[in-house]
A and B are shown apart, each in its own frame.
Chain A
């Protein structure tokens, strides 16, 4: 158990809908990351938040947005869903914001999203 908690574990929704994925980081971790794992694109970094502020952006679509709340939990919002958005969405967390300390990023078990 990494200590990173994600809900829901599985989600099935229709095209055009909107969903919210939730993540609680490990105790003491200030950075939260979202990754998407799909068969055709592998593991892709979406976005990082540190202590409530956006820190880095990856291949995140404009239809997707995220935020980190004062209690450090994070939500990933996916809207106008398409079939191609079906994937496993991982949340991860680490203590620090930057890589200089060599800190480890720990992953949750993911949220399986199926768009039908």
Chain B
């Protein structure tokens, strides 16, 4: 069985400060991990993914995420938050040998305070 946990429903951070949105996963095989962002009244936009190789992956809009196999985590980070980063963030997992669909976490609402 596959599952994703986003332990924080809400994260608030001041503009210019670093941000972290947490994600842990549970799979019965090697995972592919993804981050998506949903702005108000918009669809899900792909941010970044971990497939293999370097544990630190870089994505759109200055975001990056670090894959940590021992802690089964894939936290999303950004060195300096912008007000425009305020949105709903979803972590998702897919197993290499499984079906191609994504299993999503419950989402974390990020609010960047000016």
Contact = CB atoms under 8 A, between A and B. Distances in A.
Tell which of B32, B99, B103, B107 has the most Cβ of chain A within 10 Å. Answer: B99
A96 B100 contact: yes
A98 B43 contact: no
A45 B104 CA distance: 9
B100 to A, nearest CB: 5
B11 interface: no
A2 B43 contact: yes
- On chain A, which size bracket covers the interface? 20 to 34
Given A99-B95, A102-B32, A102-B51, A45 B103 contact: yes
B61 to A, nearest CB: 15
A16 interface: no
A104 B36 CA distance: 11
Given A90-B43, A107-B44, A45 B52 contact: no
A42 interface: yes
Nearest to A112: B41
Nearest to A56: B99
Interface in B31-90: 32, 34, 36, 42-46, 49, 51-52, 90
B43 A108 contact: yes
Contacts of B51: 102
Contact of B101 (A2, A56, A106, A110): A56
B96 interface: yes
Interface string A72-113: 000000000000000000101010111110111111111000
A55 B100 contact: yes
Given A2-B43, A90-B44, A100 B96 contact: yes
B98 interface: yes
28 contacts: A2-B43, A2-B45, A31-B100, A33-B100, A42-B107, A43-B107, A90-B43, A92-B44, A97-B100, A98-B99, A99-B32, A99-B94, A99-B96, A99-B97, A99-B98, A99-B99, A100-B96, A103-B100, A104-B46, A105-B34, A105-B101, A106-B46, A107-B43, A107-B45, A107-B46, A108-B43, A109-B42, A109-B43
